[in-house]
Chain A
Amino acid sequence: MDFYFSLAQLIGVHTLLGLSAYIVLLTGQVSLAQAGFFAVGAYTAGMLTVLAGWHLVPALGASALSGAAVACAVGFPALRVKGLMLVIATLAFGEGVRLFFFNFDYQVAVDGIRLGPLGGEGFRQIRFFPENGWGTGEVMLFMWVFVIAAMALLWWFDRSRYGSVLRAVGEDELAAQSVGINLTAVKVSAMTVGGAIAGVGGGLYAHYTTHIEHSSFNILVATFAIAYPILGGLRNVFGTLLAVIFVQGFLVEGLRFMGDWRNLLFGALIVLAMNLRPSGFLGGRRRA
C-alpha cells in the first residue's frame, strides 16, 4: 500500500505544479518560470525545517510567500512581453534560478553534521516526515489537504468575478482592456497566485524526495508544469488533475513494466491524447 500512497503524494505534488501554471494559462500567458518558483519553495521549506527546525506547516507558508514574492517580482517585467518572447523570458528566469541553486552554498552544523544546500552537490537529509514518525498514508493526506485547498481556491476564482476577468484577458486582451481591465494587474496577480501554489508544491516536493539539487528543477519540470493544464484542458481544475494522473500514474508508473518501450510510448501517447482531445481531456472554452 505504501507504494500507492507514495504515488498519490507524487501526483499531489505534480498537481500543484500544474495548477500553478493553470492560473497563468487562463490569462493566455505561457510561463516556463514555474519550475523556478517550485525550486524557490523547495529550498525555502527545506532550509526552514532542516536548518531552522521549523514545523513543516509554517515552512510551507514561507514557501508560498517566497514563491509568490519572486513570481510577483518576475511578473512585472516579464509580462510586458507576450507570446514567444514571454516563453523565452520565463525560461531564462527558470534557468537563472536553477543556476543560482547550482552555486548556492549555505551549510550549518546541526547536531555536529553540516547540513544545507551545497551547490551542485545538492541539499540532503530533508527528513521531516520520517523523523517525526509520519507514515506514508499520513503524508499523503497532509499533502492532499494542500492540493484540495489549491483546487478549491482556483475553483472559487473561476466562479468569481476575478475568474471571469482572468478568462477575459486570456480570450482577448484588447477587448478586456477596452472595458477597463488593468492587464498588468491581472497578469501579475495570476503569476503571483501561481508562484504561491508552485512554492507550496516545491516545499512538499523537497520533503517527499528528502534530497534536492539544481537538476530537480530543470526545463523538463517547467515543461511538465504547462503540459498538465494544456493536456487536461482549461475548462476547470480537474483537467489538470486528470492529466497528472495520466502522465504520472499511467505513463510513468503504469507502463514501467514495458521497460525501454515505455519512453517511446510516453511521447506517442501524449501526441495521441492531444489529437483525440485537442482541447484537453476535459475540453475547454479556449485552447492555450
Chain B
Amino acid sequence: MKKLTLAVSLALCVGTAYAQNKTIQIAGFGAKSGVVRSFGVNSEAALLAAADVINKGGGVKLADGSKARIAIEFYDDRCNAEEGISVIRRIAGTDAVVAVGPTCSNVAEPLFGILQKKVGDASDSGLQFPVFTDVAIKVGLAKISEWAFRNVPNEMTMYNSLFYWLRTTHPNAKTVYGGVEEDFAHSRATWYLVMKGRAEASGFEVLGNSKWLLADTNFATQVREMKKANADVVAISAHPFTTCGVLKEMQRQGVKPKLLVGLTSSSSLETLQGCAKQAEGIIIPTSFAPINKEAINAAQSTAKFKGNADLHSMAAWENMFILKNVMESEKITGTDVQGDRRKIRDGLAKLKTTKGLIGVSKRDAEREADKPYLFVHAKKGEWKVLYNPL
C-alpha cells in the first residue's frame, strides 16, 4: 500500500510538473531576409537547438521549484532599423522575458537607443526590456543602454593578438593594405577602429585601403589599387559576399599577398561555399570552432534545425545557456513578466564570467564579453585551426 501511495504521489508530482506546462518565452530576432539573411537563419536554428536541449534536460527551474519549458519565437527585422524598433516593441508587448538579437549593428544602435539608458531612472521613459545580442558585433554598443548586453567577441583583442602573432611568426611581412566594405557598420568600424590601428601597433606599416559597398559586384578598381600597393598582408574587412568578390578579382588580377586576413564574420560556411579556392589560406580570428565535444555537439544540434555553426550562431547557442543559468539563479517566477525581465537584466549585469563553447568568457562593466578566441584558416574548403592561444 505504501508503495502504491508513493507511486501515486510521485506520479502526481511529475504529472503536476508537466501538467502545469509552464513556458518561458524567449524572443529571437535578426535578419532572415536580404543580403545577410544567413546570419538570422543560423541564429534561429541555434536558438531552437539550444532550447530543445534545455527542454529535453527538464527545462528551466522557476522560483517555486517547478520546471518550465523554453519557447522560442523568432522575428525577421530585415536588417532594417525601423523594423528592428517595431520588432522589439512588439516583443516587449508579448510575454517574452528577454530577446536575443539583432543581426546587424545598424539595427542594434537605434534599438539600444530606445531602451532606458540607466536602470531605475524614472525620468527616462525608454523601454525596460533586456536584450542579449548574439551577432551585431560593432565595437562599444552595449554601453548605450543598461538593458543591453552582448555576447559577441572583442575584435580589438582578437586583431591585436592576430597582428602581433603574424608579426612574430612572419617577420618578413612588414606592410599591410586594407580592403573595407565601407557602407556596412561592422566592416567599416572594424577596419578603421580596429584592424588598422592594431596592425600599426604590432609594427606593420599600413599602406592604405580600398573601399567598396555591400551591394557591389565589381571590384576591379579596388583590387588594382591593392595590386599597386603591393603589400605583404592584405586585410579584408568585409562580409562573405563581397569578400568572395574581392578574392576572385584578386585571383583574376594576379594579386598574391604573403598573407590574407579576413573579418570575423567571414569565418563562416558562406565564404567557403562562395569561394573556397580563392579563400585558401585566409586567416581569421574567431570565437568558435568545433574543437571539443561540446562545440561539436552544438554544431550538430544546430544542423538538425537547418543552421550552420559559426561564431555568431554559436553565440546565440551560448546565450540560451547563460540565460537559463541566470533565470534559475535569479529565481524568476514565470508569471510576473516585467519582474522577471528586471531579474534577468540584473542577473546578466552581475555576471563576471560565462561558460562558452570553447572556454570561459569574461564580462566587463559595459556589459560586453571578452570571449576566448583562436585563429582559423581556410584549407581545402574547410576552416582549420591555425593557432589556439587558449
Chain A: residues with CB nearer than 8 A to chain B? 1-3, 6-7, 10, 102, 120-122, 124-127, 129-136, 208-211, 213-216, 252-253, 256, 259-260, 262-263
Contacts and interface: CB of A to CB of B under 8 A. Distances in A.
Contacts of A260: 32-33, 37, 76
A3 B109 contact: no
Contact of A122 (B86, B125, B127, B185): B185
B82 A209 contact: yes
Contacts of B185: 120-122, 213
A256 B76 contact: yes
B189 A130 contact: no
**A-B CB proximity, top 4 nearest:** A210-B113, A211-B110, A130-B126, A209-B110
Given A211-B113, A260-B33, A120 B86 contact: no
A127 B113 contact: yes
B93 A127 contact: no
Interface string B157-196: 0000000000000000000000000110100110000000
B83 interface: yes
B139 to A, nearest CB: 10
Interface of B: 32-33, 37, 75-76, 78, 81-83, 85-87, 89-90, 92-93, 106, 109-110, 113-114, 116-117, 122-127, 144, 182-183, 185, 188-189
Nearest to A135: B125
B143 to A, nearest CB: 10
A2 B93 contact: yes
Contacts of A208: 85
Contacts of A210: 110, 113-114
A132 B121 CA distance: 11
B92 A120 contact: no
B86 A209 contact: no
A211 B89 contact: no
Contacts of B144: 124-125
A121 B189 contact: yes
B92 A259 contact: no
Contact of A209 (B93, B113, B125, B127): B113
Contacts of A2: 89, 92-93, 127
A207 to B, nearest CB: 10
Contact of A130 (B82, B90, B93, B125): B125
Nearest to A113: B143
Given A209-B113, A259-B76, 10 more contacts: A2-B92, A2-B93, A3-B92, A6-B89, A10-B82, A124-B144, A210-B110, A213-B106, A213-B185, A215-B106
A252 B117 CA distance: 28
- The winner among B83, B85, B182 for most chain A CB atoms within 10 A is B85
Contacts of A256: 75-76, 87, 90
Contacts of A209: 81-82, 85, 110, 113-114
Contacts of B76: 256, 259-260, 262
Nearest to B114: A210
A122 B114 contact: no
Contact of A215 (B83, B124, B183): B183
B126 A127 contact: yes
A209 B112 CA distance: 10
A91 B122 CA distance: 45
- The winner among B92, B117, B125, B144 for most chain A CB atoms within 10 A is B125
A121 to B, nearest CB: 7
Nearest to B182: A120
Contacts of A135: 125
Nearest to B189: A121
Contact of A259 (B32, B126, B189): B32
Contacts of A131: 117, 123-124
A130 B33 CA distance: 30
A126 B109 CA distance: 11
A136 B82 CA distance: 15
A210 B32 CA distance: 24
A120 B106 CA distance: 11
Given A210-B114, A252-B83, A130 B124 contact: yes
A256 B127 CA distance: 22
Contacts of A214: 183
B113 A126 contact: yes
A102 to B, nearest CB: 8
Contacts of B85: 6, 10, 208-209
Given A6-B86, A10-B82, A120 B110 contact: no
Given A2-B92, A121-B189, A133-B124, A211 B109 contact: yes
A7 B93 CA distance: 13
Nearest to B107: A211
Contacts of A126: 113
A133 B113 contact: no
A136 B114 CA distance: 11
B246 to A, nearest CB: 19
Contacts of A121: 185, 188-189
Nearest to A1: B93
